[in-house]
Structure 1
């Protein structure tokens, strides 16, 4: 099985990192559209154009299953992507909402994400379809802090405490009783330990990368890993190959040694 994984940058490597132990015999093709990020500042039509050309690139290289490891593209372009390619497509938002449904007993959930993802209300919509009430919180400072490598830095811990305190206050004002927090950005799994320490122990934290990997394995009928046979991974980026290699190694948790530069147009 060849699995294509797409993101506008390196964040989607946390999804690939979660996929590897679940399907170690697969071949993975990862594309980071680094020349055209951030997607969140673009129009929906532009995001759809970027995302569909990226998906077609992966399909043309033999991907038999696509994972859209980009919250913005999953929120605003998933239908366009599915129309543009003939292979199955899974996005991170639907799998995150599925995991929240399995986790929550109160049906009240919280979501932290980027400005663009929150503005799309995609998580709220996906949660509502599953009988959940979701409250979303934009946390724009977290992505640059993660990319700076400040995972366990005092500044990052303080920023997290402020965001999460504000979120808990918002839920109290709405009379909600949340028991689940969804990490609605693929950068945030790197902060999971800090986030779990910053919220009450009664709240389950849903790692969107892990949830997506579980969802893909379920779709493909993989019940238990066959053992580490050394998955083959190919990496492509549309710009900043050296930066992709440096940051990507941190996100993947292992060295990213070779990244091929590709041009997908404007």
Structure 2
């Protein structure tokens, strides 16, 4: 079906999901919305996250998307069930795919989750993990410094290493995890530093990779896959600093991102 896939995130982090979608589904077109102006979502009240998420969804529905990917863990935790119940297109978040991958990866049933304050407080990952295996022990840690650092394009260097090391120290010292879920789509941009701090014996799970695999399965199931070969025309929208967004995007993607637009989201009523 020749309609785009919609991808939403609180900022630039969902690009980690978008890049994997582009790699695994090279013929599909994406429309990405990053609400960088109001990022991060993690410290915001649940009602505010729901409102902002719906604003992005309404924009994408006008673009006739055939599937919605919520590439934001906080938004997934607070809005996934409502969106699935309301929309007449498939909706996928990033939490369930990440949980399934972590259970495959763990040997000792000790799984760590790092994420925003909202994601950790919601216990969404713990709930998803325990639905599959009630004997999993989950250690969660909020990392509020990570998203602002990524949104500013600070992805390496001594100061970034210091922030990552000090933030993760409690999890490293007080748990026996063998698997760590990066429970925020911004965090894969810091993955190398996170792996260094936690140690090579820890399996790090990026939920974006798993999410892209599930998107492919869902599109095939609903017969929504684009069947021909083409060079897709992706579009990226940001509500914040376009130049910074463009810099981070072109540092992260393998090929230049040409269609980057500024966006002012409208306050709309939920469906």
For the superposition of Structure 1 and Structure 2, which TM-score range results when normalised by the shorter chain? Answer: 0.7 to 0.9
Number of equivalences: 258
**2: distance between equivalents of 1:263 and 1:180?**
39
Q: Deviations over 1:185-205 (max 9, x none)?
A: 111111212222222332111
Counterpart of 1:89 in structure 2 is 91
Question: Which structure 1 segments of 5+ residues have no match?
Answer: 172-176
Q: Deviations over 1:193-231 (max 9, x none)?
A: 222222233211101221221222233349xxx998533
8 Å Cα contact 2:7-2:31 kept in structure 1: yes
1:1-266 maps to which residues of 2 (within 5 A)?
Answer: 1=1, 2-131=4-133, 132-171=136-175, 177-221=176-220, 229-266=230-267
C-alpha displacement of 1:9:
1.3
Counterpart of 2:224 in structure 1 is none
* Higher mean C-alpha displacement, 53-62 vs 15-24: 53-62
* Higher mean C-alpha displacement, 50-59 vs 82-91: 50-59
Q: Aligned-residue CA RMSD in angstroms?
A: 2.3
* Higher mean C-alpha displacement, 19-28 vs 125-134: 125-134
| Residues 1:148 and 1:253: Cα distance change in structure 2 (over 3 Å) | farther
| Residues 1:61 and 1:112: Cα distance change in structure 2 (over 3 Å) | same
| Residues 1:86 and 1:18: Cα distance change in structure 2 (over 3 Å) | same
Counterpart of 1:174 in structure 2 is none
**1: distance between equivalents of 2:116 and 2:26?**
31
The TM-score, its normalising length taken from structure 2, stands at 0.86
Q: Secondary structure at the match of 1:77?
A: helix
8 Å Cα contact 1:238-1:262 kept in structure 2: yes
Q: Secondary structure at the match of 2:174?
A: helix
The TM-score, its normalising length taken from structure 1, stands at 0.87
C-alpha displacement of 1:51:
1.2
C-alpha displacement of 1:112:
1.1
Q: Secondary structure at the match of 1:9?
A: coil
**2: distance between equivalents of 1:82 and 1:214?**
19
**1: distance between equivalents of 2:228 and 2:169?**
41
> Moved runs in structure 1, 4+ residues, more than 4 A?
226-229
